[in-house]
Structure formats: structure tokens, C-alpha cells
Amino acid sequence: MKLIAQGAESKLYLNENKVIKDRFRKSYRIQEIDGRLRKFRTKREAKILEKLSLIDFSSPKLIETDKKEKIIMEYIDGELIKDILEKKYKTLSSEIGKKIAILHNNNIIHGDLTTSNMILNNKNKKVFFIDFGLSFFSDKIEDKAVDIHLLKQAMESKHYRIWDKAFKEIIKNYKKEAENSEEVLKRLQKVEKRGRYKGKK
């Protein structure tokens, strides 16, 4: 097994065409609380992946989970969108907008929408979303608006040359596909105003 990534909560290992996600113990947390948290987050992520598979969404397929701390899923081979967005932002952004709409229509909040968590698959040339570790189910307009707001912030920071044009393309296609797009985008404006107000304090 080869370690391919490490975050605050977990390590990712590559084993042939499978990715093993291992949520490691946190020594600073009380052991019982730590165990419960890891179990809850692992089970929730597995449920999200199962749901995504049912709706045939472009994301890693769940292979197995111990429902405690480990998830084994399909490895998606390709290029990270963060590395190629500037070359072909229009087509990629169009697909990203449509796919966020599919998630939200199924009441799935990604929770960490960044171009680092999207891959252009080498095999079928589709955009795959990855890392559903912070994802959850919600039908709340606020949660959907915040999801998009986080993506906007990430794009502004990472893709400052083209983020505005790319984000407009995302929103244009989200509006076409999302069931509650008008409500979500109105709430997005409020979320952004709150962020600006906090920044001035």
C-alpha cells in the first residue's frame, strides 16, 4: 500500500485500483468520544457514497467499510481540476455546475467543494467529485447556499485569473438544473453579505 494523501482526519492509501481511507485516532480527544466521532463520520461518508452510486453520480464507488474507521473505494485516475481549470474553464465549469445541482437535488451537501476535490477522469473524460468526508444530507436552502459559497471562496483564492468567468459558468448551469436554484442563489447573496460584514468587524 502506498500513502497518497493525509488530511487532518484521515490518511489515504492506494492499493492497486482501490483507495483505502483510514480515519486515525486523535490523541488529544477523549478515547470514547474520538471512537464515536470516527465511527459516525465513517458511516455517514459510506452512506453518501452508496447514495451517489444509486443515482449514478460521477464519484468513487464504495467497495467496503468496517463502519468504524475504514472505507475502501474505487480509485479515480485523472487530473485534478485545480491543475487544469484555467486551460478549459468553460467546459469544465459547465459540468461542475450541473453536477453540484445533481447533488443538491438529492439533498447531498458536499461540504468541501474545491477544485482539489474534483478530477477529470482519464477513462471517460467526465468530472468526478471526490472526498465526501465532510458531506451530509440536508434539504435546507442555507446549507446548499453555503456549499456554493465555499466553492466561490476556494476558486477566488486558487484561480484568481479566471475565477469570475468560471464561477459565472458554474452558476449559469446550476440554475438550469437545480430544483430550488432561485431560492439557493438568493440565499447565497445573504451568505456573502454576512461574510463581508464579519470581515469588517
For residues 145 and 140, give the distance between their C-alpha atoms in angstroms, rounded to a whole number. 9
Domain endpoint, select from 57, 74, 91: 74
Query: Cα dist. 43→74, 97, 139 in Å?
Result: 17, 27, 20
The domain total for the chain is 2
Q: Are residues 110 and 63 in the same domain?
A: no
Domain endpoint, select from 20, 45, 74: 74
Bridge-based pairing state of the strands 127-129 and 62-65? unpaired
- List the chain pLDDT tens, one digit each, 201 residues: 899 998 888 999 999 999 999 999 988 889 999 999 999 999 999 999 999 999 999 999 999 999 999 999 999 999 999 999 999 999 999 999 999 999 999 999 999 999 999 999 999 999 999 999 999 999 999 999 999 999 999 999 999 999 999 999 999 999 999 999 999 999 999 999 886 655 444
Q: Are residues 63 and 89 in the same domain?
A: no
Domain endpoint, select from 74, 89, 120: 74
| Dihedral sign, Cα of residue 81, residue 92, residue 50, residue 185 | positive
Q: What is the CATH number of the domain that holds 39?
A: 3.30.200.20
* pLDDT at residue 197, as a whole number: 52
Q: What is the CATH number of the domain that holds 185?
A: 1.10.510.10
Query: Helix, strand, or coil here: 30?
Result: coil
* pLDDT at residue 199, as a whole number: 44
Domain range spanning residue 110? 78-200
The set of cell numbers assigned to 92 is 469544465
Q: Which residues are catalytic?
A: 112
